[in-house]
Structure 1
Amino acid sequence: MSTKGTEKEKPIASLIAGATAGGIEAFVTYPLESLKTQLQFHADAKTTPWSLLKDTVQRRGIKGLYAGVPAVIVGNAVKAGVRFTTYDQFKSMLKDDQGNITAPRSMLAGLCAGMMEAIIAVTPSETIKTKMIEDSKRDVPHYRGTMDGVRKIVAEEGVGGLYRGVGPVMLRQGANSAVRFSSYSTIKQLAQGSLPPGSVLPGWMTFGIGSMAGIITVYTTMPFDVIKTRMQTIEAKKEYRNAVHCAYRIITEEGVLKLWKGTVPRLGRLVLSGGIVFSVYEKVYPVAASFLS
């Protein structure tokens, strides 16, 4: 995600760095993702992240917080690789003659990157994760593991079963990437402007900028995430005709604030996620680019 003048990004280096950052970030932050998803299942406003954490650990142990994690690590590595590769390529196309990119153009590049990752990687992995987490709370789980879950989903719902909620996922990922990349790039440029010319941002500052971008992303895109989760639940086909119907039922039956249910664990996850993924990417990219030169 180089911003150095007219330097051209290397797609393979972007893919390697993005996939590495995505895999590490997924494993570290998965318990928060699990709690966020479980909160979105519950209509009860009294259910809290802390009560869910205690209940999950008591019923399933620590491993209960990692139900469905293999699919998410693989999916996150792929989607981060796709996200950074496509973002860097779209960004290169949208730079001006001086090699700079404005915030609106950075947002457009992020939107396109998010749409691409939603179709290629995010929807299948998110569907598997959501169903695995929901199934793990049953007294007698239907799925014996991730691979068994994938096999049964395809057998019972067809390949299309892996793409439940693709519309909300595309909206969420497009919005996520547009907001995250544009806010990260804007804050990073401001930070670099305060340093001597040619200086490299220290790791702690990169982590902090990524975390700030995560906070902005959470509050602006949370409704898409809630609708996406509901559309990917085991009973979604019986409950909702489409994403619009899902949103209508949530608002009319549970209140508009339900669209921000799960904000606390998602906020915790994306603050860490933003810091980790951008920090790892900024460290791995130059190494990969140098190795491929």
Structure 2
Amino acid sequence: MDFWPEFLASSSGREFVAGGFGGIAGIVSGYPLDTLRIRLQNSKNGSASTIFRHMVFKEGPTSLYRGMAAPLASVTFQNAMVFQTYAVLSRAFDSSVSLKDPPSYKGVALGGTGTGALQSLLLSPVELIKIRLQLQNANQMTESTKGPIRLAENIWRKEGLRGIYRGLGVTMIRDGPSHGLYFWTYEYMRERFHPGCRKSGEESLHTMLVAGGLAGVASWISCYPFDVVKTRLQSQTPSSLKYKGIIDCFKKSVHEEGYSVLWRGLGTTVTRAFLVNGAIFSAYEVTLRLFFNNGTIHMKETI
């Protein structure tokens, strides 16, 4: 039996592969800004430009891509599962819609929320490893912490399953509601730009880019304080435990640095979110059309 032809002939197979291409496009386009976001969230002072200059001129340009192997290795599968799960859940929460019609906005929001919560189980360990690699300076690296695989083995040996899944709770709190808003914003905005496109599938690349970018911006703004807390919790090691949990991290961070700490790095994140999610949805939609339309793409020329 030929697996791939049969797999790609199914709707689930096409959603899976298209989601994987979208994830790769998102990681490659936005990783340097993601590294800058993590550094900003975990520092007590220093602007984005200061940190950027330090990384480029003191640590070398490659420091902006440190830890990318971990998310890149998993992002194809993770993003593929996200879009496939979303496609299933958005209809499961709205069974009144026929298969020929797009899911309602209610189904989109609920399906996105469920998808975000489920993907946290896969995403949390990957982000923990990525964050610790991104926060390393070149002179802090040892053989046991150089690279994602060695670092994962080191965390497992010293901290066990609890260490690998440190920050899972706050990751689920961040990703559930924000993914509901994420998919809802995308579907709503693309329909506003091109009325009827959700059913016809005909829209411009410009629409995909802008609607996807706006979806990313909306979702990040809605959950950003939780992301700051997640970064601080996951950057901890057994020898540097400062926060006992989510609430304790909120309280101590605000007490020591003010409420502005909960929004530190938001500008960089919003810029990255627009670029990355525009790329994700564009790659996803274009790939999906290639499968559905036997290698041809039908899109309108303008918004």
- TM-score of the pair, normalised by structure 2: 0.86
1:250 aligns with 2:249: no
SS in 1 for 2:70: helix
* 1:140 partner amino acid: Q
Matched with 1:171 is: 173
1:279 aligns with 2:282: yes
Offset, 1:159: 2.8
Conserved 8 A contact 2:91-2:97? no
- Distance (Å, rounded) in 1 between the aligned partners of 2:55 and 2:293: 45
1:226 aligns with 2:228: yes
Offset from partner CA, 1:195-222 (integer Å, 9 cap, x none): 7x94710111110111111221221111
- Distance (Å, rounded) in 2 between the aligned partners of 1:79 and 1:227: 23
Matched with 1:58 is: 57
- TM-score of the pair, normalised by structure 1: 0.88
1:31 aligns with 2:32: yes
Give unpaired runs (5+ residues) of structure 2: 1-9, 295-303
- Distance (Å, rounded) in 1 between the aligned partners of 2:37 and 2:289: 34
Matched with 2:48 is: 49
Match of 1:156 among 155, 158, 178: 158
Mapping for residues 118-197 of structure 1, pairs under 5 Å: 118-119=120-121, 121-135=122-136, 137=137, 139-142=139-142, 143-193=145-195
- Distance (Å, rounded) in 2 between the aligned partners of 1:88 and 1:234: 36
- Distance (Å, rounded) in 2 between the aligned partners of 1:219 and 1:247: 17
Offset from partner CA, 1:98-146 (integer Å, 9 cap, x none): 5343333311110000011111x210110000111122x2623132222
Matched with 2:265 is: 262
Offset, 1:65: 0.5
* 2:33 partner amino acid: L
Conserved 8 A contact 2:90-2:109? no
SS in 1 for 2:146: coil
Matched with 1:79 is: 78
Offset from partner CA, 1:67-103 (integer Å, 9 cap, x none): 1000011232222112111110011223334534333
Conserved 8 A contact 1:83-1:117? yes
The worse-fitting range, judged by mean Cα deviation, of 264-273 and 233-242 is 233-242
Mapping for residues 110-125 of structure 1, pairs under 5 Å: 110-119=112-121, 121-125=122-126
Matched with 2:5 is: none
Conserved 8 A contact 2:97-2:104? no
1:257 to 1:103, Cα distance in 2 relative to 1, 3 A:
farther
Structure 1 residue runs of 4 or more that deviate by more than 6 Å after TM superposition:
none
Give unpaired runs (5+ residues) of structure 1: 1-8
1:104 to 1:140, Cα distance in 2 relative to 1, 3 A:
same
Offset, 1:186: 1.0
Matched with 1:241 is: 244
Mapping for residues 68-107 of structure 1, pairs under 5 Å: 68-95=67-94, 96-97=96-97, 99-107=101-109
Cα RMSD of the aligned pairs, angstroms, is 2.0
* 1:26 partner amino acid: I
Offset, 1:289: 4.9
1:282 to 1:169, Cα distance in 2 relative to 1, 3 A:
same
- Distance (Å, rounded) in 2 between the aligned partners of 1:77 and 1:246: 32
- Distance (Å, rounded) in 2 between the aligned partners of 1:215 and 1:281: 18
